[in-house]
Chain A
């Protein structure tokens, strides 16, 4: 019998309780999963609110300014978010990103397999109800898109954080006061930032919808909120948020000219 546990032989004394190496290893795996899932969920919650508020810019500068002032002055919610969200973002990146395989050939293999499964839909002509029913499968590719959009969000989001934190907490050396102002945001977006926000928004909406769908399947597939329902719910969410994102960027672009309306 082994009395000592080592990282190399974690099963040396199975069932020895939480303090064994095997127990700790299992606990670590569980917490990693919980942390990536919960931070993903919280970030999604934040994005729900963010895109709705942002798209109010379609009503013009006054509406936009009212929202900004409300979030910054009435409630200090903007300031709190500016600290908490980048933290969640970082934690999520570290824990969720851990699932991305490290070696190039591993990623290539996943890519090929996902492609093969997705494309097979067009290479079969089975009718439903025949001998066995073929289910279409593209979720492997969806995960790959989640990784790609995650990377895009990481890069563009980091830039967005720096800009917004600078803007919320300082006068940036050029403005009258600290804080978001329609007169600054509008021209900034119009002069080219719209392109970045468009990419960032689409990437986040794609990433978030796939993530929530997979999260639901992973944890709730055997309950009433099964895979079919999750698919419908998050497809609707995807389209609604995609439209909100376009509205938000277009509204900001035209915010000094009365918005879109």
Chain B
């Protein structure tokens, strides 16, 4: 029994002087195993070519399609219309720079966060392009790989009340990123440097434990678990030294 879906979509173009935000309705006939990627493309192709939204991989890999779907930040390409009632409200992710309609620029925030946590390997070693790469044990390599699964979709930031009111808070994605470099033996930052970097109000102690990040992360990353570990590690550093 095909349903007729009603989409209520946020429309606003911040670059047009006469644009004011409103919700526009579109009717779409549901097809089997339809996802929001298909539905939104149908709307743009058939109903309204001015609608702005982002997709690249349409497979939950690139992180560009995060939006508020019936009140929840998540990936549109991984959301089936069958999991939603007939009325579907789509809003852009809050907090990020708005580009238009459902499109936001998460890159600006992530770039800033990466600069803040200095998301690169800190080493004094001279790079020798001719030398053979140093080997890493497989278990550790897998762990680091696991911690790079974040796709930077921004759902955990948009869903975090703290990040929403504190632009300097590095958020769950930022703390997860720091965890990746703490694990990496090539990064020479010492305990004190880590401590100064994340035992702060912009780091792990800015978080008030509302748990939204862990609940909305579409990659199911163990964000709360990492943060609990970091809290204890920071306390141990401070109390034992």
Contacts and interface: CB of A to CB of B under 8 A. Distances in A.
B212 interface: yes
Contacts of B58: none
Interface string A136-155: 11011011000000000000
Interface residues of B, number: 52
A119 interface: yes
Interface stretch (B39-47, B132-140, B141-149, B191-199): B191-199
B119 interface: no
A218 B197 CA distance: 19
Contacts of A25: 196, 200
B180 interface: no
A117 B214 CA distance: 13
A126 B190 CA distance: 46
B70 A140 contact: no
Interface residues of A, number: 57
Nearest to A227: B224
A142 to B, nearest CB: 8
Given A137-B215, A139-B212, A218 B231 contact: yes
A214 B216 CA distance: 17
Nearest to B241: A18
A15 to B, nearest CB: 4
Given A131-B78, A131-B80, A22 B205 contact: no
Given A23-B196, A116-B71, A221 B224 contact: yes
Interface in A166-188: none
Interface stretch (A30-38, A53-61, A246-254): A30-38
A214 B71 contact: no
B19 to A, nearest CB: 22
A45 interface: no
For B89, B214, B218, which residue has the most chain A Cβ atoms within 10 angstroms?
Answer: B214
Contact of A137 (B68, B211, B226, B231): B211
Contacts of B207: 218
Contacts of A223: 228
27 contacts: A10-B196, A15-B190, A26-B195, A26-B199, A29-B199, A29-B200, A29-B201, A30-B205, A33-B205, A33-B231, A34-B235, A109-B165, A114-B210, A117-B216, A124-B72, A124-B84, A125-B84, A125-B85, A126-B84, A137-B216, A140-B212, A143-B161, A143-B208, A214-B211, A218-B207, A222-B224, A222-B229
Counting from the closest, the 6 A-B pairs by CB-CB distance are: A120-B71, A123-B70, A222-B225, A15-B193, A126-B83, A221-B228
